[in-house]
């Protein structure tokens, strides 16, 4: 009997445990699978090529009923929650990135989320990052042992001649003893351990972008995965801990970035004003804490809607500056925006202004930010006014901005309304709210009753039960008739909003109790899994 427990997610990658035959292993892991799965060597009819036709697969693939369970893109999936599933010949998929992603999506969509994924004879120190990023958890030593037999010295950066053993590139025991096989095995184990650390910190994407630069096929796989936004977005959490590093062209295609821009265009509701000011970003996040933005806000003084032009997010309304990733990204500052960057960002700005019309749009920008604003204005047929063309934070430029807004009426800051529209897709009535606290940790109350607060770690709103009463629908998890004693586990979930993503604030509703908390997995995973925590509960109320 096999049992799988997923403890931490980072996109498709996971950290968890796998128990079988009385032994429990932490994943991701590289193990001697001959010992782990004693029936594996005797299994026949499982080594079916991935490109095989459906008739061939159905005729020749044999299921033994033992672990691991063989899955194939064209096979009706026999796996159940808790199983270890094996994709035979996955090492051949890496040579064709488009097929790699097509097959991966087919397999993921029909396999229970709480299964352990095994890629036999596939893992090397140089490709472990892309395998884990694709959702594989379990590996063996067969691929590195084959490299050892061929006299190949394996490293995460690539494969070299065995003459490098003992050269000082690696100082493991295998290199000290001149044992190539031991070195290659240890190199794979170290890489898997490092990847697990990055998954734990929610930073796997950063090491994948770094590692994949050494292999064209890995870059292609990453780009193909990014192109499948609807699939990858389901697994992308709404917030991560720490900064999001945007250090390469691939970073701009991350699902979190595209989700932010799409929500700004499709969900976000701006305040009721017809004057907008386009401002540059700042290195400090949230922007309001920077010296330059304190000067901008003093000059604007509530007389216009502040929109920050930035790479890679395109456009960040002032009300959303705390929300991940707007308040958490870090990007190299060079002053140069390449053509692809300009096209993507100007497209986002143009779509925003096509949906939200303003009487006046003042550009208080310079350099690349000014260029993309002008590209967007030309694309959507709007006219920009200019309060500066260089040094926006200079005293003279700020004075011109102040003068440009002379005579415009002040509009009440309505951060709560904008954040609710972005986070929950709802248009709440935010009149009558008072605030307390110190930015960015703000508490919103109505008639002395607290309804919302801003989580300083993620920038997201945390509704209380009174706050949820103002959000008419969505982001609900329905549970059976019990009172949660701690977190809500998957077996107790009866239904879940498919829009829920890991990290979303949710309202748990049941006949015996209601609860507020944060989703530990997507709504789809809650319904397709049989084990694990569904919601990290913050507050419980008996009905």
Cα(348)–Cα(368) distance, rounded to whole angstroms?
Answer: 15
Least confident of 76-90, 344-358, 514-528: 76-90
Whether 248 has a pLDDT exceeding 90, the answer reads: no
ω into residue 2 within 30 of 0, thus cis? no
Which carries the bigger pLDDT value, residue 67 or residue 493?
493
Question: pLDDT value at position 329?
Answer: 92
The winner for highest mean pLDDT among 40-49, 169-178, 349-358 is 349-358
Cα(526)–Cα(522) distance, rounded to whole angstroms?
Answer: 6
What pLDDT, in 10s, does the model give residues 301-336?
A: 999 999 999 999 999 999 999 999 999 999 887 777
Tokens (6 digits) for 480: 């059976």
Whether 65 has a pLDDT exceeding 80, the answer reads: no
Report yes or no: 161 and 152 within 8 Å, Cβ to Cβ: yes
Residue with tokens 């935010």: 430
Domains in the chain, CATH or no CATH each: 3-202 (3.20.20.105), 244-404 (3.40.50.10630), 416-542 (2.30.130.10)
Question: pLDDT value at position 221?
Answer: 97
Question: pLDDT value at position 59?
Answer: 85
What pLDDT, in 10s, does the model give residues 469-490?
A: 999 999 999 999 999 999 999 9
The tally of CA atoms less than 13 A away on the side-chain side of residue 28 is 35
Question: pLDDT value at position 61?
Answer: 83
Whether 359 has a pLDDT exceeding 80, the answer reads: yes
Mean residue pLDDT across the chain:
93
Cα(327)–Cα(69) distance, rounded to whole angstroms?
Answer: 43
Q: Is the dihedral of CA 438, 290, 418, 233 positive or negative?
A: negative
**Model-wide pTM > 0.85:** yes
Question: pLDDT value at position 436?
Answer: 93
C-alpha closest to that of 353 among 333, 327, 381: 381
C-alpha closest to that of 2 among 31, 30, 23: 23
**Mean pLDDT in residue range 136-144:** 96
C-alpha closest to that of 93 among 39, 125, 136: 136
Angle among Cα 145, 191, 224 to the nearest 5 degrees reads 95
Question: pLDDT value at position 77?
Answer: 83
Q: What's CA 24's distance to the chain center, in Å?
A: 28
Question: pLDDT value at position 240?
Answer: 86
Whether 241 has a pLDDT exceeding 80, the answer reads: no
Whether 295 has a pLDDT exceeding 90, the answer reads: yes
Question: pLDDT value at position 21?
Answer: 83
Which carries the bigger pLDDT value, residue 332 or residue 29?
29
For 402-532, where are the E strands, in sequence order?
433-438, 441-446, 449-454, 461-463, 476-479, 488-489, 493-496, 505-509, 513-519
Whether 83 has a pLDDT exceeding 80, the answer reads: yes
């Amino acid at each position: 009997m096999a049992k799988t427990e997923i403890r931490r997610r980072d996109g498709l990658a996971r950290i968890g445990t796998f128990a079988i035959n009385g032994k429990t292993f932490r994943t991701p892991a590289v193990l001697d699978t001959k010992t782990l799965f004693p029936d594996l060597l005797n299994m026949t009819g499982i080594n079916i090529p991935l490109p095989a036709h459906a008739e061939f697969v159905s005729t020749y693939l044999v299921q033994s009923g033992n672990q691991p369970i063989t899955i194939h893109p064209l096979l009706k999936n026999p796996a159940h929650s808790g199983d270890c599933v094996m994709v035979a010949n996955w090492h051949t998929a890496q040579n064709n990135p488009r097929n790699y992603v097509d097959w991966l999506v087919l397999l993921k969509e029909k396999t229970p989320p709480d299964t352990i994924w095994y890629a036999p004879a596939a893992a090397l120190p140089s490709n472990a990052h892309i395998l884990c990023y694709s959702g594989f958890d379990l590996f063996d030593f067969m691929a590195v042992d084959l490299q050892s037999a061929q006299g190949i010295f394996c490293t995460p950066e690539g494969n070299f001649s065995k003459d490098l053993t003992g050269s000082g590139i690696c100082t493991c025991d295998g290199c000290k003893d001149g044992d190539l096989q031991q070195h290659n095995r240890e190199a794979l184990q170290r890489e898997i351990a490092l990847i697990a650390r990055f998954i734990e910190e929610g930073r796997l994407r950063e090491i994948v972008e770094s590692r994949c630069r050494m292999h064209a096929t890995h870059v292609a796989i990453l780009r193909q995965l990014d192109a499948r936004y609807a699939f990858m977005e389901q697994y992308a959490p709404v917030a991560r801990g720490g900064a999001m590093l945007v250090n390469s062209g691939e970073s701009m295609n991350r699902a979190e970035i595209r989700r932010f821009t799409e929500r700004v265009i499709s969900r976000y509701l701006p305040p009721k004003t017809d004057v907008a000011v386009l401002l540059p970003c700042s290195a400090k996040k949230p922007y309001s804490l920077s010296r330059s933005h304190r000067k901008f806000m003093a000059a604007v003084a509530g007389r216009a809607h502040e929109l920050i032009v930035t790479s890679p997010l395109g456009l960040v309304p002032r009300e959303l500056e705390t929300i991940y990733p707007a308040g958490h990204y870090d990007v190299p500052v060079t002053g140069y925006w390449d053509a692809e960057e300009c096209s993507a960002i100007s497209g986002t700005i143009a779509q925003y202004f096509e949906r939200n019309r303003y009487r006046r749009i003042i550009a208080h920008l310079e350099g690349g930010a000014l260029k993309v604003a002008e590209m967007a204005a030309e694309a959507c047929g709007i006219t920009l006014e200019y309060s500066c063309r260089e040094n926006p934070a200079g005293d003279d430029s700020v004075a011109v901005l102040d003068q440009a807004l002379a005579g415009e009426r002040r509009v009440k800051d309505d951060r709560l309304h904008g954040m609710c529209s972005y986070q929950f897709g709802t248009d709440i009535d935010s009149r009558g709210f008072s605030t307390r606290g110190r930015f960015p940790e703000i508490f919103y109350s109505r008639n002395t009753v607290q309804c919302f607060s801003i989580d300083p770690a993620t920038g997201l709103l945390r509704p209380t039960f009174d706050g949820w009463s103002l959000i008419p629908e969505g982001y609900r998890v329905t549970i059976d008739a019990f009172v949660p004693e701690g977190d809500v586990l998957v077996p107790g979930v009866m239904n879940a909003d498919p829009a829920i993503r890991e990290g979303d604030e949710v309202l748990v509703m049941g006949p015996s109790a209601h609860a507020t908390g944060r989703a530990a997995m997507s709504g789809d995973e809650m319904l397709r899994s049989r084990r694990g925590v569904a919601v990290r509960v913050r507050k419980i109320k008996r009905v």
